[in-house]
Amino acid sequence: MDKDGSKIIFSGIQPSGTITLGNYIGAVRNWPLTAKMGRGIFSVADLHALTVRNKPSELRARTLSTFAILLASGVDPENSIVFVQSHVPAHAELAWVLNCYTMFGELGRMTQFKDKSKQHSENVNAGLFTYPALMAADILLYDTDLVPVGVDQKQHVELARDIALRFNGVYGDVFTIPEGYIPSFGAKICSLTRPDKKMSKSDPNPKSYISIVEDADTIIKKFKSAVTDSDGRIAFSPEKAGISNLLTIYSTMTGCTVEEAVSEFEGSGYGDFKLAVGKAVAEGLRPLREKYEDLMNNKDYLVSVMEQGAARAAKIADRTLARVYKKIGLFKG
Q: Are residues 48 and 94 in the same domain?
A: yes
pLDDT for res 23: 86
Identify the three-state secondary structure at position 83.
strand
Which of 210, 122, 178 lies closest to 10 in space, CA to CA?
A: 178
Annotated catalytic residue, options 198, 222, 240, 274: 198
CATH number at residue 242: 1.10.240.10
pLDDT for res 16: 78
Tens-digit pLDDT string for the chain (333 aa): 566 668 999 999 999 777 899 888 887 888 887 777 788 999 999 999 998 888 999 999 999 999 999 999 999 999 999 999 999 999 999 999 999 999 999 998 888 777 777 777 788 889 889 999 999 999 999 999 999 876 677 889 999 999 999 999 999 999 999 998 876 656 689 999 999 998 987 788 999 999 999 999 999 999 999 999 988 899 999 899 999 999 999 999 999 999 999 999 998 999 999 999 999 999 999 999 999 999 999 999 999 999 999 999 999 999 999 999 999 999 986
Q: Are residues 240 and 309 in the same domain?
A: no
CB 330 within 8 A of CB 107: no
- Residue 196 in domain: no
Q: Are residues 160 and 284 in the same domain?
A: no
Q: Are residues 173 and 279 in the same domain?
A: no
Annotated catalytic residue, options 3, 36, 114, 116: 116
Q: Are residues 102 and 212 in the same domain?
A: no
- Domain count of the fold of the chain: 2
Q: Are residues 259 and 308 in the same domain?
A: no
Q: How far apart are CA 307 and CA 87, in angstroms?
A: 8
Q: Are residues 233 and 321 in the same domain?
A: no
CB 219 within 8 A of CB 278: yes
pLDDT for res 279: 97
Q: Are residues 73 and 16 in the same domain?
A: yes
Q: How far apart are CA 50 and CA 182, in angstroms?
A: 26
Q: Are residues 149 and 283 in the same domain?
A: no
Q: Are residues 45 and 174 in the same domain?
A: yes
CB 134 within 8 A of CB 92: yes
Annotated catalytic residue, options 3, 55, 154, 201: 201
**Quick check: is 55 catalytic?**
no
**Quick check: is 207 catalytic?**
no
pTM of the prediction? Answer: 0.89
- Residue 197 in domain: no
- Residue 166 in domain: yes
**Quick check: is 274 catalytic?**
no
Pairing of strands 146-148, 81-84: unpaired
Max intra-chain CA distance, the chain: 76
- Residue 333 in domain: no
Q: Are residues 110 and 150 in the same domain?
A: yes
Residue-number span of the structural domain to which 101 is assigned: 7-181+299-328
